Amino acid sequence: MQIRKALAIIAAGAIASVGLTACGSDSDYSSIVDKAKDTGKLTIGVKFDQPGLGLKKEDGTFAGFDIDVARYIAKELGVEEKNIEFKETPSAQRETALKNHEVDFIVATYSITDKRKDTVSFAGPYFVAHQDLLVAKDNTDITGPESLNGKKLCSVTGSTSAQTVKDKFASEVQLKEYGGYSDCVQALSSGAVDAVTTDDVILAGYAAADQYKDKFKVVGKGFTDENYGVGLWKGDTEAQKAVNAAIEKMESDGSWEKALQDNVGPSGYTIPEPPAITEK
């Protein structure tokens, strides 16, 4: 009797296991392309706190250029907007989120670097930004990265922006790192820091945001090239090809330019030409 009961338990466990496998999990897929086809769903990593790029609004909806790019790619992979789950991926957590398959891909002002390519793959770039500075609108002391010695400069933990300033331009700058750019902008607003540094298009989004209108300005002295890529699972070459094709289609059919005009154009930001795909 005990043997029969044990066998029944084992059989029930096996059936449950088969049932779970049939439902599918990220570990069952070698490519997000297959996952999209099989499930019709995708989890996409984005920023929640960047006006004009990746912003979760008070009503729970999402807006921004990166959001539009993510939706376009998902559509090209056969996934409807209603079946997209946007997951917040702060700068310091992006590689981990991809490595652990917590997200299927990331569109979050994610600069392509050789170091990052050790652990994740990229498609794109879909945009090239230039590192710049955000300061108070009446500030006349800070005219570029060279004028930051003795100043308090804010950037985000896990980003390379502040360190680039310290290494190349102003060795005596006081670096302040926060968890998100919105925290840096709040610190600038309160006077806790003198400037915020990251990519010009991100800063332009904040400068144009309703709550900061006429309070800040972008210095306008871009000093790096930041190639924004779509972060992918390491080695997912099938997804890389599919996402690159989606980016090129978005650029050619006018959707790319429209998304930029809608999201950051009102700040006065000059819309650039779309970049060539390099990650193949």
pLDDT in tens, 26-55: 667 999 999 999 999 999 999 998 899 999
What is the structure's pLDDT at 93?
A: 95
Percentage of residues of the chain with pLDDT beyond 90: 72
What is the structure's pLDDT at 28?
A: 79
Give the integer Cα–Cα distance in Å for 138 and 144: 15
Give me 225's structure tokens: 């090239």
Q: Which residue is associated with the tokens 């897929």?
A: 29
Residue 21 has pLDDT above 50, yes or no: no
Pick from 41-55, 113-127, 165-179, 226-240: least confident: 165-179
Chain centroid to CA 225: how far? 16
Pick from 19-23, 78-82, 133-137, 193-197: least confident: 19-23
What is the structure's pLDDT at 81?
A: 97
Query: Which helix H or strand E contains 50, and what residues bound it?
Result: strand 49-50
Q: Does domain 131-218 have CATH number 3.40.190.10?
A: yes
Give the integer Cα–Cα distance in Å for 82 and 93: 25
Of the candidate CATH numbers 1.20.1290.10, 3.40.50.880, 3.40.190.10, 3.30.70.20, the domain formed by 26-129+226-267 belongs to: 3.40.190.10
What is the structure's pLDDT at 65?
A: 96
What stretch(es) of the chain map to CATH 3.40.190.10? 26-129+226-267, 131-218
The CA distances from residue 238 to 79, 89, 92, 111, 123, in Å, are 16, 23, 26, 21, 10
pLDDT digits (tens, 9 = 90+) for 8-20: 444 444 434 334 3
The amino acid at residue 146 is: E
